[in-house]
Chain A
Amino acid sequence: MSVALFNALLELGDDHLILGHRVSEWCGHAPLLEEDLAMPNMALDNIGASRNIYTYAGEVEGKGRDEDQLAYLRLDREYKNCLLVERPNEDFAHTMLKQLYFSAFMEPYWQAALSSSDETIRGIAGKAVKEMAYHIRHAGEWVIRLGDGTEESAKRMKEAVEELTPYVEELFVMSADAQECADDGILPDREALRAQWNQTVANIFDQALLELPEVKYPQLGGRTGHHGEEMGFLLAELQYVQRAYPGMSW
């Protein structure tokens, strides 16, 4: 059990860390001062969740690895995040859509995890569920305004939908480890969250004048460590300090 739970926790922790890092790349570059505060807020919510998840994963593994070792000292093939979260920020349309797609999945996920048989999971879920609800609202309002905005913003929003929607399927994929945890009532069944995701996104797309395209060939591979080229650059930046100064702490 502990191996399956450890791996399933890495899937979760890596999703939050990598998305959090991506969002943090906007820090100091957002188009408005107000948004320059909002983006790091969201990034820190995600990174904060990953810290709790890694700490627990380290305990479950029982080999003395802490959050820093799990976050910073693995090779790219050892990261189990879905491909969606590592996609580059590109523009505001891509960034906000990525955030919406992810939080529209994680909000019902944490909601379901509130009735986990595992007390630590229930604790992590209780904090994260409120943060995800806010991320849906914040990213959703931007998607609506860009989708139903100017000619340029609508065009960019449509391009983001075309490009990012094939990555959504991987959120619902159950690895053997995740399945084992779901069977034991520790972590939620990802498959079962499809209807809620569809409803959240459909409500927003309806107002944003966007359509969800049919995906024939979903992009998969992150959960098994097969990442895109961009992931290497992301990790180089993310891991630099710990690699250059091993064991350094603040």
Chain B
Amino acid sequence: MLRSPMLKNGLRVKPHKLQNREEKMSKETPLWEVFIRPRNGLSHKHCGSLHAADEVMALQAARDTYTRRGEGLSIWVVPSKSIFASDPDQAAENFEPGVDKVYRHPTFYDIPEEVGHM
């Protein structure tokens, strides 16, 4: 007999054992978001996430995981729990009103030739 997944607050509840292991892991080695600046003059870009016990270990893990091929000159790590994300359900009200307002793009100016590439 097929059983429907147990739902709790709209999320599928994981089997107990797995859930315990994940809880233990995120408590002892929480998740960090990694940002790398590839070159001077560019901004840090998000490039992934990792598990680490604290900020020092997170920086080292980021160095070993994301800069093995000369990708960067600087690393930031941020606890994932410190990041607040917009709600995908609000994407329409957040972003669609900007789509049809072409006058917000600076494309109605004639750029003098002397200015060159902008």
Is this pair of chains taken from one and the same complex? yes
Residues of chain A at the chain B interface (Cβ within 8 Å): 32-35, 37-38, 41, 137-138, 141, 145
Give B residues with C-beta under 8 Å from A: 29, 50-53, 56-57, 60-61, 64-65, 68
Chain B's nearest CB lies how many Å from the CB of A15? 23
Q: How far is the CA of A138 from the CA of B57 in the complex (A)?
A: 8
Contact in complex: B68, A35 (CB < 8 Å): no
Chain B contacts for A137, CB-based, 8 A: 60
For the complex, what is the distance from the CA of A141 to the CA of B63, rounded to whole Å?
A: 14
- Which of B29, B60, B64 is packed against the most chain A CB atoms within 10 Å? B64
Q: CB within 8 A of A34: which of B50, B56, B68?
A: B50
Residue among A32, A33, A34, A41 with the most chain B CB within 10 A?
A34
Q: Besides the contacts A34-B61, A138-B60, what 4 more A-B pairs have beta carbons closer than 8 Å?
A: A32-B61, A34-B50, A37-B68, A141-B57
Residues in chain B near residue A141, CB distance under 8 A: 56-57, 60
For the complex, would chain A's binding face be called helix, strand, loop or mixed by DSSP majority? helix
Q: Is the CB of B57 within 8 A of A145?
A: yes
CB distance from B69 to the nearest CB of A (A): 12
Residues on the A chain within 8 Å of B50, using CB = 33-34
Q: Which of A34, A41, A138 contacts B52 (CB 8 A)?
A: A34
Once the chains are docked, how many angstroms separate the CA of A138 from the CA of B56? 10
By beta carbon, the residue of chain B nearest A39 is B64
CB <8 Å contact, B51 and A34? yes
Q: How far is the CB of A61 from chain B (nearest CB, A)?
A: 34
Closest to B62 in A: A34
With A32-B29, A32-B51 known to touch, is A37 a contact of B60 (CB < 8 Å)? no
What is the chain B residue whose CB lies nearest that of A138? B60
Enumerate the 7 nearest inter-chain pairs by beta-carbon distance, A residue then B residue, closest first: A34-B61, A38-B64, A37-B64, A34-B50, A37-B65, A41-B64, A138-B60
Partner of B65, one of A34, A138, A145: A34
**What A residues does B53 contact at CB under 8 A?**
145
Bound-state Cα–Cα, A35 to B65, Å: 9
| From A35, A137, A145, residue with most partner B Cβ within 10 Å | A35
A228 shortest CB reach to chain B, Å:
30
Name 6 A/B residue pairs within 8 A (Cβ), A-sorted: A34-B52, A37-B64, A37-B65, A38-B61, A41-B68, A141-B60
**What is the CB-to-nearest-CB distance from A244 to chain B, in angstroms, rounded to a whole number?**
31
* Residues in chain B near residue A32, CB distance under 8 A: 29, 51, 61
